[in-house]
Amino acid sequence: MDQESWQKSEELIYEIEDSLDELLDSPELKELRSKIAELGRQLGERYSVGLNCIVDIMDWEKDQSLQLLNTGISTNDTGDTGRTWNSASFQKYVVNGEIQIVPHDHCPGCWGDWLFKSENTTCPECGIELGKECKILLDTDECPHCEKGKLSMNDTKCDQCGYSIDPKYVVWG
């Protein structure tokens, strides 16, 4: 989404994430969790049962949708349920001169799935190319790969995970 929409929504997205976490772990859902666990046990080891909470946005003008959050509950091999975590994590890009913010693994241009951008440098859905129409916008020194380590314009290798960012893929904010 564009920068203006992002600024209006960022805080609320993280609040929604917290509320969902609270809800999924709450005593009110105990019965639901135990029924999901029961279903998992009845189906046996071959299957896992999941309950997913997806928050997405739909852009009616471009007719495309984007998943912002995906979290839930799933059964595990101990016959119980655990939380599935897919916490909100977003990346800024510059696409054709405009700042766009989308979750990792998505295309900032068409919102389609685009995984491992530094290896697959062309969006499989719309064909924009990393390093050409699309660049990663880094306005912090946080590593876009592990989000824990640090890297910078002068030292493009992450001090934690060792990920090295190709300067031609990046715009420094």
Burial of 75 (0-12, 13-18, 19+ CB in 10 A): buried
Minimum distance, C-beta of residue 137 to Zn ion, in the bound complex (Å): 16
Residues in contact with Zn ion, total (CB under 5 A)? 15
Between residues 37 and 107, which has the closer beta carbon with respect to Zn ion? 107
* 18 vs 59, beta carbon nearer Zn ion: 59
158 interacts with Zn ion by CB under 5 A:
yes
- Among 10, 163, 164, 171, which residue sits at the site for Zn ion (rule: CB under 5 A)? 163
- Asked whether 122 and 109 are in contact (CB, 8 A), the reply is no
Tokens of 18: 């917290």
Q: How far is CA 21 from CA 124, 148, 162, in A?
A: 32, 22, 31
**Closest approach of Cβ 160 to Zn ion, in Å?**
5
79 φ/ψ sector (left φ>0, alpha ψ -120 to 50, else beta): left
Position among 123, 130, 138, 170 found at the interface with Zn ion (CB under 5 A): 123
For residue 106, the minimal CB distance to Zn ion (Å) is: 8
Q: Applying CB under 5 A, does 37 fall inside the site for Zn ion?
A: no
* Per-residue buried b or exposed e for 104-129, using 16+ beta carbons within 10 Å of the residue's own CB: eebbbbbbeebeebeeebbbeeeebe
The residue within the footprint of Zn ion, chosen from 130, 136, 137, 143 (CB under 5 A), is: 143
38 binds Zn ion (CB under 5 A): no
Q: Under the criterion CB under 5 A, does residue 161 sit at the interface with Zn ion?
A: yes
Asked if 102 and 91 touch (Cβ cutoff 8 Å), the reply is yes
Binding residue (CB under 5 A) for Zn ion from 10, 21, 38, 125: 125
The SS3 assignment for 54 reads: strand
The contact set with Zn ion (CB under 5 A) reads: 107, 109-110, 112, 123, 125-126, 143, 145-146, 149, 158, 160-161, 163
